[in-house]
Amino acid sequence: MKSGTGIVKDILSDCMDELTHSERQVASILLTDYPVAGMQSITSLASIAKVSTPTVVRLAKKLGFDGFSKMQEALREEVAAQIKKPVSKHDSWITESSNKHISHQFADAVAANLRHTLDRLDQNAFDSVAEILGDSSRRIFLVGGRITRSNADYFYNHLQIIRPKVTLLSESSNVWPQYILDMDESSILIIFDIRRYEKDLQKLAHLVKERGCTIILFTDQWGSPIEKHAEYCFKSLVEVPSSLDSTIAITFIVESLLAQIQNQSWDSSRDRIESLEAMFGVTKLFRNLK
């Protein structure tokens, strides 16, 4: 495993099977309180994990770092990138910009985001999510944040065509408790949350988790705090040459899921689509419909 090729948390998860029992104890502490646990001194971390300091050093080296201090540097860089403000983000891209036209720079960044997102996609989790979302007996609720509300709306519009019992939560968090009343163990809540992670969404996740609702999270490469409440979490790279983050990689996963859900329940989906097209024809909502 090589350092610098991803988030430390992801590198840890990838190489867990290669670790000794003592190293796993350290890894467990790091993952439980990530990234704060990795910011403390090596002696403190070793004491909490009940291992020796050389064990912590060995773990860092197995992750591809020259030592514990280098791993801490990587963690600090992650935190800095995660909290970077839009203006700072834009300035860093300008500093690093090449002679390519912005359209090509953006395309290169998006292509890299898609590639890395696909490389880290858990296909078993993907198939499981497609299966439960295709179960029309379960109610689905969707919600997004200030930036990702459009992602939630997009997913909602297409899911509602494919299957019944799909609800998009209001933009106003004040009325969310009214939706929570209808959530139970058979319900599914899909949340979109990328940096800067929103406290209202975290509170919502906590409340619905208490009701036994299944949470599916779409987030960025660093991972929203909601991840600790989610049964399924899809991480996508979001950085592009802009002060804004890109959700194209998130949309890629959403559209792939939609295709899978539709394919596995085509008979019922086809009936809904044909009925919807018939309504469009009667209302003449779109051109060229007879």
- CA pair distance 164, 162, nearest whole angstrom: 7
**Contacts for 280 with CB less than 8 Å, ≥ 6 apart:** 286, 289
The model carries a pTM of 0.71
Structure tokens at 199: 């406290």
- Residue-wise pLDDT for 40-95, tens only, equals 889 989 999 999 999 999 999 999 999 999 999 888 888 777 666 655 555 555 55
- Parse the chain into domains and list their residue ranges: 8-82, 118-281
- Residue-wise pLDDT for 104-150, tens only, equals 888 998 999 999 899 889 999 999 999 999 999 999 999 999 999 99
What's domain 118-281's superfamily in CATH?
Answer: Glucose-6-phosphate isomerase like protein; domain 1 (3.40.50.10490)
- The CATH topology of domain 8-82 is Arc Repressor Mutant, subunit A (1.10.10)
